[in-house]
Structures are given as C-alpha cells and as structure tokens.
A and B are shown apart, each in its own frame.
Chain A
Amino acid sequence: MAILDRVRDPGERTLAVVLLAPAFALLALIVVYPIGRIIYQSFFDARLSGGHGHRFVGLDNYRIAFHDTEFWTATWHTVAITLITVPAALVVGLGLALLANLPFRRRWPVRLALLLPWAMPLAFAGLIFAWFFHTEYGIVNDVVRRLGAGGEPTMWLLRPGWAFAAVCVTIVWKTSSFMALILLAGLTMIPRSLYEAAEVDGASHFQQFREITLPMLMPSIVVALIFRTITALQTFDIPYTMTRGGPADATETLAMLIHKTTIDYLDVGYGSTLAVAMFVLSLAVTTVYLRRLARTP
C-alpha cells in the first residue's frame, strides 16, 4: 500500500495496470499453464494405461465427444441441475437474506443458521444427506413412518427420479447460504432514507420490495448468480458422495464424467476435451451475465 501511495495520482491507464497487475500475475503463475495444457492435451490421444503413447489426433476427441451418449447425458443432467438449483437457491437465499436482515433482538441464531450449511465441507454435506435419505437409517423415512404412512419405505436414492430430486434438494440446501451471504451484504448497503421516503409516499411493503429492494439488490444478485451458475455447472461432490452418479447414470454430471475419465480411466486426452467442453458451456452462460455487469458504469 505504502509503495502505491508514493505513486501520486498516476494516469488512469497506469493506475489500471498497477491495480490489475497483482491479480493477473497470480493468474499467470497458477492457472495459465494448466489451462494451456488442458487445451493442448485435448488434441491428443493420451490414454495413459493403454500404452498408446501421446499421439496427435487433431479434433478426434471432440468428434468422439459429439457422438458420445454418456457425454450428452451427463451434460443434460448438469444443465438440468443448473436450471433447477440456481433459481431455487436464489429464491431460498433471498428469503434467508431478508429474514437475517430483520431487526431480531438476537440476530445470531438466524445468521448462524445461514452460515452452518456453508461451513459444512461439501463432501460431508453429501454424505450426511445421503444418510438422511437412506431407506432404513434416514430421517426422511423415519418422519414418513411417524406420520403414519404405511407400506414399504421409499428407496429415495435408488429410484432415478427421486435420486435426482434428492441431489437437487441437497445442493439447494448447501448453496442457498452462499446466495444469502452475498444478498445480505447487498441489503445492508441500501440506504434507509429510500424506504423512509417511500413510507411517506404511502407505498406498501410489497411495492417497496419491488421498487427499491429488488433494483438496488440487482448487482449483488447478478454476482451471486454468476458464481452459483459456474459452480452448478461444475457440480461434483454432492452427487458423487450421495449416489456415485447412480442408479446407473441417472445423476452423473459432466464434472463426474471428467473426474472418472481422468482419474479412473486415466484417459487424459479425452478428459481434457470434456473439460474444454465444460469451459465453453460455462463461458457461454456467464457471458450473458458479464455483459450486463460490464455495462453498468
């Protein structure tokens, strides 16, 4: 900081370079080489254990992916999880944030409730929820039984539809905290005078929410959505620990397929190709958001 202080009021351009330099230096050090390598390897047949060596195959891996039904199934699951859990987490997260922002005498129970899911390590969150949905030892079925529903207990994680739903519920539980944290911070930045003025004008609570809260919160919402979307497209730990992608491939996501291809199949070339595909998908989706962000002055 002191060093920067000494550069007294440099021009906009110099200042921009100085301010952005640390960030880009770190990016260059840590991720530029790995990303370059992924892209490079995606053009090679690099099946490690087959003894095929490292052979340049051009776009073959991409052609294979295009005809690979498992890739499309996993992509579809990933997109479906994104379309379901991102809006759901936004709604739940917004509710949580509004609630946490209310003037309770003690705010910590609500704030802690908001933080705990976020603080639970991802892999263990998946394991704990898999336990909750377990046919015999899960509380979901225990509650169903106590409510007096007869018949055989439902095998939540063994039925494709239910397993998918259970995975989505867990993701929403875990990620709405993240949403809420960002939105809560956004809420605290809205000047109260706006509401006071609206009160005087006789605006209803709902009108105030629609006319003041939502628009003022938009930048935070966009930021939260960008990252929730990127992480949703990378969904891995929760389905991996809850269902292993099963039954069969009913809950297999793109990130799980990449993990399996790279770590279990040792097919580094094809794994890289799939990673590039995921990158393109993420980039396409987030560009829409980013354009909006970049436009605001």
Chain B
Amino acid sequence: MSPAARVATGLPANPLAGRGLRLAAAAIVVVNGFFPAVWILLTSLKTETELVRKPITYWPRNLTLDNYLRAFTDQPLLRFLGNSLAVALASTALSLVVAALAAYAIARLNLRRRQLILTAIVASSMFPLVTLLVPIFETMRALNLLNTYTALVLPYTVLNLPVCTLVLASFFEGIPRDLENAAMIDGCTRVGALWRVVVPLAAPGVFTAGILAFVNAWDEFLLALSLNANASMRTLPVGITLYQGEFTFPWPTISAALVVAIVPIAVLIALFQERVVGGLTQGGMKG
C-alpha cells in the first residue's frame, strides 16, 4: 500500500501489512485457533472404536450423531449450560461494575498509596486456588449459600477483580481528561462523568475485561466442584467430567458435550466483538 493510500484510509501501521504475508499469517492463525475445536467436532461424530484405529483417521468413517444424543440424555447438559451462563454472566457484570469503580480511583484520583492498593487487589490472585478451597467452602456454608449461584458468583467476581481492575485502569488512563472535564462542566458529577464518558470511551477495554471475566468464570472447575455439588446446580466444566467414569473416557461423547459448550459461546463473543466493539471504536477514537 502506498503512503498516499495509507493516509487516505488512515490505517494503523502494522509490520504485517504486505498482502500475501497478511493472508498467510491469517491462515496460520485460523488453522492454529480452529484446529483443536475442529478436531473435537470431528471426534464427536466418530465411534469410540474408531479412535484406536491405526493409522489414525481424520474424517469420521461411520458418521454418527449418537454422541450428541448421549451427551444430552446421559446428563442434563442444558441445565449445566444454563447454570454456567447464569453464573458467568452475573459474575462478569458484577466484576465489571466493581472493577470500573476501583479502576477509576486508581487511574484518576491522586492516591498516595497507589502501589499498595494495586498490590492488595492483585495479591488476592497469587495463592493457588486449591489451598483457598476449604476456607471459601466454610465461608459459603456460614452464609448458607452452598449450592446457589451466589456461592460461585462471589468468588468468581473476586478472582476476576484483579484482571478487570488493571485492564480498565490502563484504559481509563488513556482517555483524555479534557473530555471528562467537559462533561463535568456540562453538569455531570464525577461519577456521572465516569459512567457517561469514561466507560463508553474505554469500550474496548470494558469488553476485553468482560470477555476475560466471562471466560474465567465459564472455565472454573475446583470451586464449582466443591461449592455446588447438587446435581441441579452443577456448571459445565464439572458437568462434562461426569461423562467419564472411573475406568472410562468416552472421548466422542465428551467431545459432543464440549462442542455444545464452547462453540456457541465463542461464536457469540466473536460476533458481538465484531459488531459492537468494531462499531464503537470507529465512532469513539477518531483522535
């Protein structure tokens, strides 16, 4: 692309700008990202004995949908999905709100003990979860919250707080103070300005923090296993392990469950990101 064309389109400079190089790189990324998911998809269409065939097969020899049937009938997969969705959405929303407030204080206010505050927030994620398990279990039992969504929403929010706070703080810092001041002159309070100006302008950061929080909550296993042991309250990662047995590991059925679990979510997030974030940034940061 010539410099003139570049100015016209106003594209960010990028070392991966050559067209051929760009497509090749994109192809590698797509294959690398999709491959395990596609592998799972193909496995979900195979029978278990096909997996011990040598040499291995890629395309299923006897295409079967039985595994999906089994995935839905052996365990209440939709229930797991609903539980995971509820827990992940709620903790994401809660983390974003709490983190946005804290991040604003860290990014904008004249705090004398910034590093201490930052460290205190981040330090909470430096202990291995397995050692926190028993005391968190005791806390939730004392609050009579075991086997409720709240039992997971609260710890997940805390676990996500550090990453959300730092991501948001780094984005808030990038927003010119003038914009905020202008809003305050227009009669907004400071918190109002945070809500109406800073958060929307930091949209890519907010969405990134949201995605990170969502996926972290979606993935979490240890707490979900111990705090919500009631069959009807299980989340997906725990639920999917129920397809295996003491001595059995039916990959095809597990794959089917994984496909149901991850593909729709990933597609949704990607579309959401493309539509909403893409649209927003074009409007927001013309600079």
User: Which A residues form the contact surface with B (CB < 8 A)?
Assistant: 1, 4-5, 7-9, 12, 15-16, 18-20, 22-24, 26-27, 29-31, 33-35, 37-38, 95-96, 98-104, 107-125, 128-129, 131-132, 136-139, 142, 145, 173, 177-178, 181-182, 184-196, 198-200, 202-203, 205-206, 208-209, 212-213, 219-220, 222-223, 226-227, 230, 233-234, 236-237, 255, 258-259, 262-263, 271-272, 275, 278-279, 282-283, 286-287, 290-291, 293-294, 296
B-chain residues with CB within 8 Å of residue A138 when the two chains form the complex: 56
Given A23-B121, A227-B162, A290-B119, is A136 in contact with B54 using a C-beta cutoff of 8 Å? yes
Closest to B131 in A: A275
A117: chain B residues within 8 A (beta carbon): 33, 36
Contact between A258 and B273 (Cβ–Cβ < 8 Å)?
A: no
* Residues in B whose Cβ lies below 8 Å from that of A119: 215, 218, 262, 265-266, 269
- In the complex, how many angstroms separate the beta carbon of B24 from the nearest chain A beta carbon? 10
Enumerate chain A residues within 8 angstroms of B3, measured Cβ to Cβ: 199, 202
Interface size on B, residues (CB 8 A): 115
Q: Which 8 A-B pairs have the closest CB atoms?
A: A191-B287, A113-B33, A208-B13, A34-B135, A294-B115, A185-B208, A282-B126, A185-B204
Q: Which chain A residue shows the least CB distance to B53?
A: A137
- Known: A99-B29, A185-B171. Is A120-B36 also a contact (CB below 8 A)? yes
B30 contacts A113, CB within 8 Å?
yes
**Residues in B whose Cβ lies below 8 Å from that of A29:** 139, 154, 158
- Contacts of B121 on A, CB cut-off 8 Å? 23, 27
Q: Is residue B105 within 8 Å, beta carbon to beta carbon, of the partner chain?
A: yes
Give the secondary structure class of B's interface. helix
B32 to chain A, nearest CB (A): 7
CB–CB B237/A123 < 8 A: yes
Partner of B102, one of A19, A111, A219, A259: A19
Complex Cα distance A35/B123, Å?
10
Closest-by-CB residue of A relative to B168 is A223
B167 at the interface (CB under 8 A from A): yes
Candidates A23, A110, A286; contact of B29 at CB < 8 Å: A110
Query: Contacts A113-B33, A116-B34, A290-B118; is A38 near B25 (CB within 8 Å)?
Result: no
- Check A113/B29 contact, CB under 8 A, given A38-B132, A195-B10: yes
B6 to chain A, nearest CB (A): 5
Decide if B266 touches A219 in the complex (CB within 8 Å).
no
> Does B191 make an interface contact (CB < 8 A)?
yes
Say if the beta carbon of B141 comes within 8 Å of chain A.
no
Query: How far in angstroms is the closest Cβ of chain A from B83?
Result: 15
**B189 within 8 Å of A by Cβ?**
yes
Given contacts A182-B208, A184-B208, contact A194 B287 (CB under 8 A): yes
Partner of A122, one of B40, B125, B219: B219
Of residues 181 to 220 in B, which have CB atoms within 8 Å of A's CB atoms?
A: 189-192, 195, 202, 204-205, 207-208, 211-212, 215, 218-219
CA of A132 to CA of B56 in the docked complex: distance in angstroms?
11
CB contacts (< 8 Å) of B261 on chain A: these are 121
Smallest Cβ-Cβ distance to B101: which chain A residue:
A19
* Cα distance A112–B263 in the bound complex, in angstroms: 10
CB–CB A212/B173 < 8 A: no
Asked if B278 is an interface residue, CB under 8 A from chain A, the answer is yes
B189, A30: Cβ atoms under 8 Å?
no
The one of A109, A131, A283 that contacts B123, using a Cβ cutoff of 8 Å: A283
Contact of B13 among A31, A125, A209 (CB under 8 A): A209
Which of B248-267 touch A at CB < 8 Å?
251, 254, 258, 261-262, 265-267
What residues of chain B lie closer than 8 Å to A283, measured between beta carbons?
Answer: 119, 123, 126
Nearest-neighbor residue (CB-CB) of A202 within chain B: B3
Establish whether residues A95 and B174, one from each chain, have CB atoms under 8 Å apart when the complex forms. Answer: no
Asked if B12 is at the interface (CB within 8 A of a chain A CB), the reply is: yes
Contacting pair A234 B128 (CB below 8 A): yes
When distances are taken between beta carbons in the complex, the residues of chain B under 8 Å from A104 are 26
**A191 vs B170: C-alpha distance when bound (angstroms):** 16
CA distance A181 to B34 in the complex (A): 16
With a CB–CB cut-off of 8 A, which chain A residues contact B163? 223, 227
Contact A205 B110 (CB under 8 A): no
Is the CB–CB distance between A272 and B131 below 8 Å?
yes
Question: Which residues of B60-107 have CB atoms within 8 Å of chain A's CB atoms?
Answer: 97-99, 101-102, 104-105
Q: Most A CB atoms within 10 A — which of B102, B105, B121, B170? A: B170
Q: Give bound CA distance, A41 to B205, whole Å.
A: 39
How far, in angstroms, from A73 to B136 measured CA to CA in the complex? Answer: 30
Q: List 16 A-B contacts (CB under 8 A).
A: A20-B101, A29-B154, A30-B139, A33-B138, A109-B30, A110-B29, A116-B36, A121-B237, A129-B36, A178-B212, A188-B285, A189-B174, A190-B12, A205-B15, A236-B130, A287-B119
Contact present for A112 and B33 (CB under 8 Å): yes
Q: Are A262 and B130 in contact (CB under 8 A)?
A: yes
Q: How many angstroms from the CA of A182 to the CA of B102 in the assembled complex? A: 19
B231 CB within 8 Å of chain A: no
Q: B123 near A279 (CB under 8 angstroms)?
A: yes
- Contact among B22, B105, B173 for A16, CB-based, below 8 A: B105
B159-182 interface code vs A (CB 8 A; 1 in, 0 out): 001110111001101100000000
State whether B122 touches A226 (Cβ < 8 A): yes
Give the distance to chain B from A272, nearest Cβ to Cβ, in Å: 6
Contact of A35 among B13, B26, B109, B132 (CB under 8 A): B132
